[in-house]
Structure 1
Amino acid sequence: MILSGAQSILAGVFFTIMSRGPADLSIATVAGYAGFGAFYFLVSAVWLTLKRAK
């Protein structure tokens, strides 16, 4: 969770910096952030499933 929070902070800073420049409206702008979020969700789901199975 700490890693996910740190990634969210970095993404927020990155998006804030990007907002000061010319607008590049593309799904690719947020695809990496969404991909990491999905990865963290998957890891958490597997971890909780294994923890519950014990």
Structure 2
Amino acid sequence: MDVDDYQAYLDGDEYEYHGGFHDVSPVVLEIPYDSYWYLVVDGNVHRIKVSVTGIFD
């Protein structure tokens, strides 16, 4: 999510996101355009373990 959509997510307002539901690992995400991004991982009712790797500036 970009900064505006992330704030809307936190506020409980409508927001847009890139990605979706994934039930296999690893997941490779592509950033649609240059900006600051927030990665939100929601395990619903399940506890999940998350690891993030990649090329970061």
Give the TM-score normalised by structure 1. 0.23
Higher normalized helix content (fraction of residues): 1
Give the TM-score normalised by structure 2. 0.22
Relative contact order (C-alpha < 8 Å, sep 6+): which is higher?
1
Find the structure with the greater CA-based Rg. Answer: 1
